[in-house]
Chains A and B, each alone.
Chain A
Amino acid sequence: MSKVKVARKSTRIDMTAMSDVTVLLLTFFMLTSTFVKKEPVTVATPASVSEIKIPETNILSILIDPKGKVFMSMDKQNDLEESLIKVGNEYGVTFTAEELKKFRISTTFGVPIVKMKAYLALKPDEQDKVLATFGIPTDSTNNQFKSWVRAARQTNGPDLRIAIKADQATPYKVIKSVMTSLQDLRENRYNLITSLKKETAK
């Protein structure tokens, strides 16, 4: 019997090189990534030509949605906890250790302090749902926003930067009340977050 022998070739592809590449990419993304913060409301920031980048840490960001609801977020969890205790003291609300722990992991907060206890008792996914309906009161009679900023400043020291991120359709009335509150606290320097637009003087 003489048959032409066909060389048997394995169809296996060596995945090692591929795996090397993917691991490299993964490492790159893991090291460079800063996670997108979960925000209760979507905010479209107005565009500007300013090219100053926002510092990465130690920011107290104030989020204002088109309807004028105010939310806040801080990046240091310890300061978050301390601020809550301070604001709680001011309004006569004390929090248990468990509640504080829950508050630490919330990225954005914005619930009137009297409702904070009930809010913290909710499950995380329920919290996300209801958070958008609240907002920190900023009116002159019940200005908890001021208390929060004051507490944040006290716990964080002078290095804390304040950044306002507001939707472009927000009426100026709301911005004004936030700005005057900040002025009352002698916080006269802050950043306004914008997105990039290219334009130059001709």
Chain B
Amino acid sequence: MAEIQENSGGGKKKKGGSKQKKLSVHIDFTPMVDMNMLLITFFMLCTSLSKPQTMEITMPSNDNKITKDDQPPVKASQAVTLVLAGGDSLFYYEGLPDYKNYQKLKLTTYGVNGIRSMLINKNREAVIKINELKEKKLQMKISEAQFKKEVSEIKGGKNTPTVIIKATDNSTYKNLIDALDEMQICSVGKYVIDKYSPSAEGLLIKNYRAKGAFSR
């Protein structure tokens, strides 16, 4: 390919030239390859091929104009409050906070055996439905758009729990993401990140740690 052979003419070239020297133009591509390899290495090292994942969240507006009346009330039977405490510990209680019975507040862990099994139990109906939908989607029975629509319908259904996530100052960002992650795994559609108040949840935890010494 890179050789241009000139076979026409031969012999010595003279001033009034009738004869030409046999020329073979041989281009050595080795330096070119070297340089290309270098450039490739550079590009390979400098690119980020995998794009990072994201999680989309919508926070409640803290607009003062929104009064209590505008906020839809949550049924106490379906509310679960997660309290993310320091040292990777996780507490939860169902319904309203109970300052009398410290055992209403339960200590659990992040992951499969802890919070997930509890949430899946609470949300069993929706989880089963969504798994069925996923199966259908895998078999190409329904389209992506339809899948999304049905998922959001199931998640917004009547008997799904509402999770309130309250993080203490000692918890880390990882704890928060883990908690949000569980919402996704357990197909919880209604969840909110709320402010932690030391006088309410803090007291509950204190009460729990003291085994009911602060019960009122």
Residues of A within 8 A of B (CB): 12, 14-19, 22-23, 25-26, 29-30, 32-36, 45-54, 56, 64, 163, 165-173, 175-176, 179-180, 182-184, 186, 188-197, 199-202
Contact = CB atoms under 8 A, between A and B. Distances in A.
A179 B59 CA distance: 9
Contacts of B180: 48, 192
Contacts of A35: 46-48
A122 B160 CA distance: 57
A170 B47 contact: no
Contacts of A25: 36, 40
Contacts of B26: 12
A196 B84 CA distance: 22
A200 B185 CA distance: 6
A183 to B, nearest CB: 5
A188 B28 CA distance: 61
Interface stretch (B72-80, B137-145, B167-175): B167-175
B67 interface: no
| B interface majority secondary structure | mixed
A54 B59 contact: no
Interface string B18-29: 000000001011
Give the one of B56, B58, B172, B186 with max A CB within 10 A.
B172
B4 interface: no
B170 A171 contact: yes
Contact of B61 (A169, A183, A194): A183
A33 B41 CA distance: 12
Contacts of B171: 171-172
B131 interface: yes
Given A23-B36, A34-B47, 9 more contacts: A15-B28, A18-B33, A34-B51, A46-B177, A49-B185, A51-B53, A53-B53, A184-B62, A192-B55
